[in-house]
Amino acid sequence: MRILGIDTAITTGGAALIEGEQITAEYILNIRATHSERLLPALDRLFKDTGLDGSRLDGIAVALGPGSFTGLRIGTATAKALAYTWDKPLIGVNVLEGLAYQVETFVPWVCSLVDARHDEVYGSLYQVGDGSDVPKAVICPQAAPVRQFVEQVLEISGVEKICFTGDGAAAYKGLIGDLTKERLVFPGNNNIYLRPSSIAFLGLRHLQAGRQDDPMSLAPMYLRLPEAQRRLEARNRQSS
């Protein structure tokens, strides 16, 4: 099965095309241009370089979030439009699950963190290595102060080592290290940042399990209100 994976959730992003268990092409971009400027050229190059087109896809997977509000809207809207135009199955993929999926580790726990700024993260804790194709969520995705979330992870995981991954793990590496000490593991081979191919592979797993989403109703996973709206509500509370 050929699956197109699209990721615009965080600063890095791009697109990947997989066929079965193999990556056919993958473009990862970490540049100053916005996702609206770089996503469509990346998709165009991906199809030109592979000689394929949308009619030969079996599905489209897109990173639903959590992550950048603007980036998620761009990626989700693009994936929905392509799925509708090409009449292909659409699968929304949790970014935190994608981060846990791509980590190759011998420890039983993976904590995925996306930087939410202002000392907060979007996080989830997964059990891995039990033979399942998809990581098992033990702490469901949530937005929380990084210290509070890491302390929750430490309490649940007992005394075992934990692999921390995602740009949130990179941003708060010092604090996480102070809290976890010898239990801390970081992923190797630059897998701390999300890859579009991970979104594609998880899309494949979900599609094989019989799950797909409605292109008309699929929406990004934000986990919290945009900062501008939160500030407005705070001002309204102060003035009331």
The span from the CA of 28 to the CA of 7, in Å, is 9
The span from the CA of 65 to the CA of 50, in Å, is 28
Query: pLDDT in tens for each of the 240 residues of the chain?
Result: 999 999 999 888 899 999 999 999 999 887 666 777 789 999 999 999 999 999 999 999 999 999 999 999 999 999 999 999 999 999 999 999 999 999 887 899 999 999 999 999 999 999 987 767 789 999 999 999 999 999 999 999 999 999 999 999 999 999 999 999 999 999 976 789 999 999 999 999 999 999 999 999 999 999 885 554 445 444 555 555
Could you give the maximum distance between any two Cα atoms of the chain, in Å? 60
**pTM for this prediction:** 0.90
All structural domains of the chain:
2-95+194-231 (3.30.420.40), 97-185 (3.30.420.40)
Q: SS3 string of 82-105?
A: HHHHHCCCEEEEEHHHHHHHHCCC
Of all helices (H) and strands (E), which one includes residue 167? helix 167-171
The token pair that represents 79 in the structure block: 């994936």
| Pairing mode of beta strands 59-65, 90-94 | parallel
